Chains A and B, each alone.
Chain A
Amino acid sequence: MIKNYFRPSTIDELSELKIKTNGYLFSGGTDLFVKIRAGAINTDTVIDTKYLENEELKIENKKLFIPLNTTYTELRKFIKANQINPIIENIVKTIGSPMIRNRGTPVGNIANASPAGDFVLASYLLNASVILKPSSKKIPVEEFIKGPGKIELEKEEFIYGIELEILDDYKFYFEKVGRRNAMIISIASIGLLIKEDNEKIKDIRIAFGSVAPTILRNKEIEKSLIGEKIDKNLFKYLANEFFNLSSPITDVRASKEYRKQLVYNLTLKAYINLYEKVVI
């Protein structure tokens, strides 16, 4: 049961409280309070990060900086106003519901480190780095997330923000398969970014959610495709590769076989939607 509630206003205060109490940090509480209620987390101390004097959302050197306590709703407004990374809007609008987006945060999503985390997928696609304080370490997201729910954080550290690349002139596709429209925790998801040069690949990034212990992305495969002609055969090859690379589990939402098939089908569907312009 929660017995202590703290509201640190400085980085040092927050860090000291974390060491001293071993309490759980929270911003939106949309993950933490669900887990406490379900009995998955039992803690007597929670630390509310919303009183911290932190920086604002900003764009610097072609990077987007999202500090802790930024909600999805605030991020969407910022993305729209600055007309950057439209794929983020496509992903974020599928997260939860307006109520979840008014409280939930990208930083909370990363800290939660779920392979189904939609903002985790966005971060992988945009080569994000996670910025920690008080150490000021900057760690690539795929190194920061070690496995389902596992992150690399020292006792005194917390996530201060996330930095993502800003990409121009990319085609993109995102789809999340789940059991109902709003508030789906994905059964499988795909995110794809492609930059073209004369119908050939200049850069490609492809990531899948919920089909491996962490988000599945493979930079070697991506690199090997640079200069290749974009056609259905190429996507069939990709679909096959990721079908083989995926290692999903069976849970209440879907079986592992079904998820593997989704990896294959979603890859082809992404191609069809982007290049054969079939309206679905």
Chain B
Amino acid sequence: MKIKFTLNGTLIEKDVPVNKRAIDFLRDDLGILSIKEGCGEGECGACTILVNGKNVHSCLMLAVELDGKEVITVEGLKDNVIQEAYVEAGAIQCGFCTPGFIISTKALLNETLNPTPEEIKEALEGNLCRCTGYVKIEKAVKLAAKMYKGSDSND
């Protein structure tokens, strides 16, 4: 089936098999390698992407469902603020989970730059990390929010 959508700001038109999952299409056909497959069933969040501004699992979605949508992955974020905050806070070890966390962080910070600790926990509850123990990830989110607010006031 023919679909048309924007991926990280670029308009894409492609013919995709209807049984293909969004994760396979984006990763294998379009080379978006930040998207990882951990569990393939909605449990780990490594495959998280933004579709029309909302974070969703690309493993539980068909490629044809991307039709008409605006899709953002880590490759297409407008700045590196969240990535820098994760590095700064030491929130990355093996890095497999990181793109998913960054996308969920982006979804949260799109809603608010003053997240409460509860809001941060809720925003990240669908992302699993086997390495860091989460404390530094929560710090990274707070730091990213601060960095965004800082850059706002400079504008």
| Chain A contacts to B: CB under 8 angstroms | 1-5, 28-30, 33-34, 37-38, 46, 48, 50, 73, 93, 96-100, 102-103, 181-183
Contacts and interface: CB of A to CB of B under 8 A. Distances in A.
Contacts of A103: 56-57, 60-61
B122 interface: yes
Interface string B12-31: 00000011010000000000
A121 B54 CA distance: 26
B11 interface: no
Contacts of B45: 97, 99
A30 B60 contact: yes
B18 A5 contact: yes
Interface in B80-135: 104, 107, 122-123, 125-127
A1 B1 CA distance: 16
Nearest to A44: B19
B126 A99 contact: yes
Interface residues of B, number: 26
B122 A93 contact: yes
Interface string B26-68: 0000000000000011110100100000111100111011000
Contacts of A100: 42, 57, 126
A3 B125 contact: no
A58 to B, nearest CB: 22
A98 B104 contact: yes
A5 B1 contact: yes
Contacts of B56: 99, 102-103
A2 B19 contact: yes
Contacts of A29: 60-62, 65
Contact of B40 (A37, A50, A93, A182): A37
Q: Which of A3, A102, A183 has the most CB of B within 10 A?
A: A102
Nearest 7 pairs of A and B residues by beta carbon: A97-B126, A182-B125, A5-B18, A2-B19, A102-B54, A33-B60, A99-B126
Given A37-B40, A98-B104, A98-B123, 18 more contacts: A1-B19, A2-B19, A2-B62, A5-B1, A33-B21, A33-B60, A48-B65, A73-B54, A93-B122, A97-B42, A98-B107, A98-B125, A98-B126, A99-B48, A99-B55, A99-B56, A100-B57, A183-B125
A98 to B, nearest CB: 6
A100 B61 CA distance: 11
Contacts of A30: 42, 57, 60
A33 to B, nearest CB: 5
Nearest to B16: A5
Contacts of A3: 18-19
Contacts of B18: 2-5
B42 A99 contact: yes
Nearest to B1: A5
5 contacts: A29-B62, A30-B60, A33-B62, A100-B57, A100-B126
A1 B62 CA distance: 13
A34 B55 contact: no
Nearest to B64: A5
A98 B122 contact: yes
Contacts of B123: 98
B49 to A, nearest CB: 9
A104 to B, nearest CB: 9
A100 B48 CA distance: 11
Contacts of B55: 98-99, 102
A95 B132 CA distance: 25
Nearest to A28: B60
Contacts of B64: 5, 48
Contact of A183 (B21, B48, B126): B126
A29 to B, nearest CB: 6
